[in-house]
Amino acid sequence: MLWIKALHIVFIASWFAGLFYLPRIFVNLAMVEPASVAERERLLLMARKLYRFMTILAVPALVLGLWLWLYYGIGRGPGQGWMHAKLAIVVALLGYHHGCGLILRKFTQGQMQRSHIWFRWFNEAPVLLMLVAVILVVVKPF
């Protein structure tokens, strides 16, 4: 079980690296001048590659988490309400991940109208979700 936990943590950390960095690329894309085609294309290439890579990393993170929960019973039974809250956060993170894909598609199609300031705030969501998830897992408040 410890090997599964260790791998789960590694893949979660790797997935979060993408969740943290992709919106920073969006900030830069939102700031690109319309005449700066090469810069825009370079940032879009980086964003597409990162999105694909972080999607690949999310799969084993989720599979290993489900393995710990369903096979080893972590978070099951009485007094394990923290796990339900953590699962809600995981669903929110999956939604955020999917939302990043939609935003990337809009940037690629030249349809994104949001400002770099909006993306700076958007970038804070995974930080807050990770903070709550770690507190839930470590402290198990309920």
CB atoms within 10 A of CB 104: 20
Count of CA atoms in the C-beta half-sphere (13 A) of 113? 1
pLDDT of residue 7: 98
C-beta pairs of 82-89 under 8 Å, 24+ apart in sequence: 82/136, 82/137, 82/139, 82/140, 82/141, 82/142, 83/136, 85/132, 85/136, 85/142, 86/133, 86/136, 86/137, 89/129, 89/132, 89/133, 89/136
Q: What is the pTM assigned to this prediction? A: 0.94
- As a dihedral over the C-alpha atoms of residue 64, residue 80, residue 131, residue 124, rounded to 10 degrees, the angle is 80
DSSP-assigned letter for residue 28? H
CA distance 60 to 7: 9
- Using one digit for the tens of pLDDT, what is the confidence trace for 11-62? 999 999 999 999 999 999 999 999 999 999 999 999 999 999 999 999 999 9
pLDDT of residue 74: 82
3-state secondary structure of 80: coil
Average pLDDT over residues 130-137: 97
pLDDT of residue 9: 97
- Using one digit for the tens of pLDDT, what is the confidence trace for 52-111? 999 999 999 999 999 999 988 887 878 899 999 999 999 999 999 999 999 999 999 999
pLDDT of residue 78: 82
